[in-house]
Amino acid sequence: MERTTSIAVHFASLPEPRLPRRRVHRLVDILTIALCAVLVGADDFVGIALFGREKRAWLKTFLELPGGIPSHDTFGRVFAALDPAAFSTCFVNWVQAVAPGTAKHIAIDGKTLRGSHDRPAGQAAPHLVSAWAADGGLVLGQRAVDDKSNEITAIPALLEVLDLHDATVTIDAMGCQTAIASAIVARGGEYVLALKANQGRLFESVQDTFALADAQHPETRSPAEHYPTVDKGHGRIEVRRVTTIPDPAIIDYLDPTKAWSNLRTIVRVEADRRFPDHVECHTRYFLSSSAADAKTHGRFIRDHWGIENQLHWTLDVTFHEDGHRGRTGNVAENLAIVRHLALNILRNDPTKASIKGKRLKAALTPEYLAQLLGFD
């Protein structure tokens, strides 16, 4: 074909799951049609197949389509059979090609695809761990959590395919593990890990250390070690105080066996949410390999939740991810990768419009959809 999309280039190595005698449609055609359909608003295989039939003439300008447009059943069978790990690896390679450069802040968090459970069959809803470039607004990769495991095993597998050089990785309490900290440092990154009571003695020691520091030298803290902010909105005033202790002697006391790779700083975030009729107080603690000041640590911790607001919320509200009921084989995980592809393409596009607006424009304007596909 005269025109080749970036998808065709970077997903060419994806293993073909079908037997040769059963290949009526090219795998790259199936993937491209699915991506285009999701970009313009399709939420399931029926919608994807409908898009293909309605846009066949346009698709034929850059796809071979030797067997015409696949049926919705064909889309379902192929996505159920695709190897999600290989698909995810191709996705990571594509992200690094279209948005080169290491993300400076990578947030990692999990999300359950709630609509993809099957209670009669005893099939739990898939749970995915995703990496999010908090400074670039792009999905960097994902890995599924095994049915008999948890995020602790999925996070290292995800870290292995990411470029962590000079990046700071933030993870909630589930990822606060010595092995995960070591994996991040080994790949050239820094970590800021949420510390909770499940860490037992270490949590209590960090808590006591801050209490002692408060009692002894509350007036001698430098601005680099204590950073307060005040925000207004949503009917409340929120006062946040980020305090860091980077003292090597204290770190040695807390971690005498050096179990936590490159541990340099302990962090406390105190948040007072002041409503008209009551005040809510929350205190959280973190372990960090970074020597950054309190202000920078506060930004990392706060920006971490962009993965909830800008990724998970967008997937649920705009792409209706929680409503998708893919239950067969690898359908749920593989369609999640397609949605991540679509979201990255839309966020990376400079057009001034919301994600919803861009999807509508892509549905109405073939030229804009072609632009989003990134023809080489």
| Cα 193–Cα 129–Cα 122 angle in degrees, nearest 5 | 130
Tell me the domain boundaries of the chain.
6-96+323-373, 173-301
Chain segment 146-176, per-residue pLDDT in tens: 765 677 888 999 999 899 999 999 999 989 9
Least confident of 144-153, 243-252, 343-352: 144-153
Q: Which residue has the higher pLDDT, 115 or 347?
A: 347
- What backbone phi and psi angles, to 5 degrees, belong to 225? -105, -5
pLDDT for 148 = 52
Model confidence at 337: pLDDT above 90? yes
Q: What is the pLDDT of residue 198?
A: 81
What value does the mean pLDDT take over residues 171-184? 95
Highest-confidence segment of 144-158, 271-285, 289-303: 289-303
The Cα–Cα gap between 156 and 183 comes to: 7
pLDDT in tens, 126-138: 888 999 999 989 9
Q: Which amino acid is at 112?
A: T
What rounded mean pLDDT belongs to the chain?
A: 89
Q: What are 128's strand-pairing partners?
A: 111, 144
At 326, is the pLDDT very low, low, confident or very high (cuts 50, 70, 90)? low
For residue 120, pLDDT beyond 60 = no
CA geometry: angle at 117 spanning 115 and 121, to 5°? 150
**Sorting pLDDT into bands at 50, 70 and 90, what band is 119?**
very low
Quickly tell me which residue has 């690898």 as its tokens.
Answer: 330
Q: How long is the chain?
A: 376
Neighbours of 209 (CB within 10 A): 19
Per-residue pLDDT reduced to its tens digit, 352-366: 999 999 999 999 999
CA-based max dimension of the chain: 77
The per-residue pLDDT for 355 is 95
Q: What is the pLDDT of residue 54?
A: 97
In this structure, what DSSP letter does residue 375 have? Answer: B
d(CA 6, CA 376): 7
Q: Count Cα atoms within 13 angstroms, Cβ side, for 155.
A: 27
Per-residue pLDDT, 124: 60
Strand 168-171 versus strand 105-112 pairing type: parallel
**Tokens 């820094």, residue located:** 190
pLDDT digits (tens, 9 = 90+) for 192-236: 999 988 887 999 999 999 999 888 765 556 667 888 898 887 778
pLDDT above 50 (res 117)? no
For the cut 60, the answer to whether the pLDDT of residue 118 exceeds it is no
Angle at 165 between CA 160 and CA 171, to 5 degrees: 60
Confidence band, pLDDT 50/70/90 cuts, at residue 269? very high
Q: Quick: pLDDT tens for 94-116.
A: 998 887 776 899 999 988 875 44
Q: Please work out, in degrees rounded to the nearest 5, the angle formed at the alpha carbon of residue 199 by the alpha carbons of 195 and 204.
A: 80
Gap between the Cα atoms of 237 and 227, Å rounded: 17
Strand order in the sheet with 105-112: 138-144, 127-133, 105-112, 168-171, 190-195, 279-288, 265-274, 236-245, 226-233
Interstrand relation of 236-245 and 226-233 (parallel, antiparallel or unpaired): antiparallel
Residue-level pLDDT at 218: 59
Distance CA 180, CA 155 (A): 8
Confidence class of residue 268 from pLDDT cuts 50, 70 and 90? very high
Residue 22 — very low, low, confident or very high, per pLDDT cuts 50/70/90?
confident
Mean pLDDT of 251-270: 96
The predicted structure's pLDDT at residue 2: 52
Question: Which carries the bigger pLDDT value, residue 218 or residue 298?
Answer: 298
Mean pLDDT of 44-52: 96
Q: Are 228 and 238 in contact (CB under 8 A)?
A: no
> How deeply is 274 buried, as exposed, middle or buried, from its count of CB atoms within 10 A (0-12, 13-18, 19+)?
middle
Spatial CA neighbour of 203 closest among 270, 268, 281: 268
- pLDDT given at position 195: 96
How far is C-alpha 186 from the geometric centre of its chain's CA atoms? 21
